[in-house]
């Protein structure tokens, strides 16, 4: 049953993302533009850039994730396939997890892979960029899972993107604080395993609870 729901939906989302490569590149272009503008605004001082690097990269990653969330379920809602999925008898939480996994593979994983280059651009120390990559690898899936709840709640609303941002930003703040704290501690030579452990715990909690919350929100939006 798992393979009958999860894998076909994930394969379908990846295929659709490949066919819409211009939309696929939009969050990455946004991320690079935001990170590139900060050195122009604050000046080329290496010490200043290294101190703000983690905050700039993480905030840009957060905004790029939110930018791609509104379309997570909207296309299926508009063509009626979402309603068919709900009444099909398949596991809706598992289907929701497949959609979120596809979103992360398309929007989150490229950010993780691109982060070493961004860290080099922002002069982040050698001890910090590796922790930055780990924090993004743990944090961006959590962003997608939490964002999926907001996307499901606003899928039936016209121009729900603004409300979606208001819903998910408060949920993202603890992840942002933990990630920035871990990278800053690493660059200062301080312990950072506690922050990474909390990020991992948040990911496990989101994986356990978010698919059920997304399924409930989708049913509520379709009523």
**Residues 34-46: tens digit of each pLDDT:** 888 877 777 666 6
68, two tokens? 């791609």
Per-residue confidence (pLDDT) for residue 161, from 0 to 100 = 64
Query: What percentage of residues in the chain have a pLDDT greater than 70?
Result: 92
Per-residue confidence (pLDDT) for residue 131, from 0 to 100 = 92
Does the structure show a pLDDT above 50 at 1? no
Does the structure show a pLDDT above 90 at 198? yes
Residue of 7, 11, 56, 10 lying closest to 33 (CA atoms): 56
What is the spatial distance between Cα 27 and Cα 208, in angstroms, rounded to a whole number? 27
What is the spatial distance between Cα 139 and Cα 212, in angstroms, rounded to a whole number? 20
What is the spatial distance between Cα 137 and Cα 142, in angstroms, rounded to a whole number? 9
Mean pLDDT over residues 213-220, rounded? 89
Burial class (CB in 10 A: 0-12, 13-18, 19+), 41: exposed
List of residues 6+ apart from 96 with CB closer than 8 A? 148, 152, 210, 211, 214, 215, 218
Per-residue confidence (pLDDT) for residue 13, from 0 to 100 = 76
Does the structure show a pLDDT above 90 at 178? yes
Does the structure show a pLDDT above 70 at 3? no
Indicate left, alpha or beta for 16 from its phi (over 0: left) and psi (-120 to 50: alpha): alpha
Provide the 10 A C-beta neighbour count for residue 120. 12
Q: Are 147 and 89 in contact (CB under 8 A)?
A: no
Mean pLDDT over residues 64-71, rounded? 83
Per-residue confidence (pLDDT) for residue 203, from 0 to 100 = 96
Identify which has the larger pLDDT, 209 or 47: 209
Per-residue confidence (pLDDT) for residue 140, from 0 to 100 = 94
**Residues 117-169: tens digit of each pLDDT:** 888 888 787 778 889 999 999 999 999 999 999 888 888 777 666 778 788 88
What is the spatial distance between Cα 209 and Cα 206, in angstroms, rounded to a whole number? 5
Identify which has the larger pLDDT, 107 or 198: 198
Per-residue confidence (pLDDT) for residue 160, from 0 to 100 = 60
Per-residue confidence (pLDDT) for residue 136, from 0 to 100 = 94
Residue 20 DSSP SS3: coil
Identify which has the larger pLDDT, 190 or 27: 190
DSSP 105: I
């Amino acid at each position: 049953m798992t393979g009958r729901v999860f894998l076909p939906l994930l394969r379908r989302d990846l295929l659709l993302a490949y066919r819409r490569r211009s939309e696929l590149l939009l969050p990455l272009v946004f991320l690079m533009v935001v990170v590139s503008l900060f050195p122009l605004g604050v000046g080329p001082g290496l010490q200043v850039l290294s101190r703000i690097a983690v905050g700039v990269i993480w905030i840009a990653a957060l905004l790029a994730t939110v930018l791609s969330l509104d379309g997570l379920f909207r296309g299926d809602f508009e063509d009626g396939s979402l309603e068919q999925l709900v009444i099909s008898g398949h596991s809706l939480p598992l289907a929701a997890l497949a959609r979120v996994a596809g979103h992360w593979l398309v929007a989150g994983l490229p950010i993780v892979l691109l982060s070493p280059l961004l860290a080099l651009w922002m002069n982040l120390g050698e001890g910090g960029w590796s922790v930055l990559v780990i924090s993004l690898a743990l944090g961006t899936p959590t962003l997608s899972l939490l964002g999926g709840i907001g996307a499901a709640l606003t899928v039936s609303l016209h121009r729900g993107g603004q409300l979606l941002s208001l819903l998910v930003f408060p949920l993202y703040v603890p992840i942002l604080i933990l990630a920035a704290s871990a990278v800053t501690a690493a660059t200062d030579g301080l312990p950072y395993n506690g922050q990474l452990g909390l990020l991992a715990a948040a990911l496990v909690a989101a994986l356990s609870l978010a698919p059920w919350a997304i399924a409930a929100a989708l049913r509520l939006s379709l009523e």
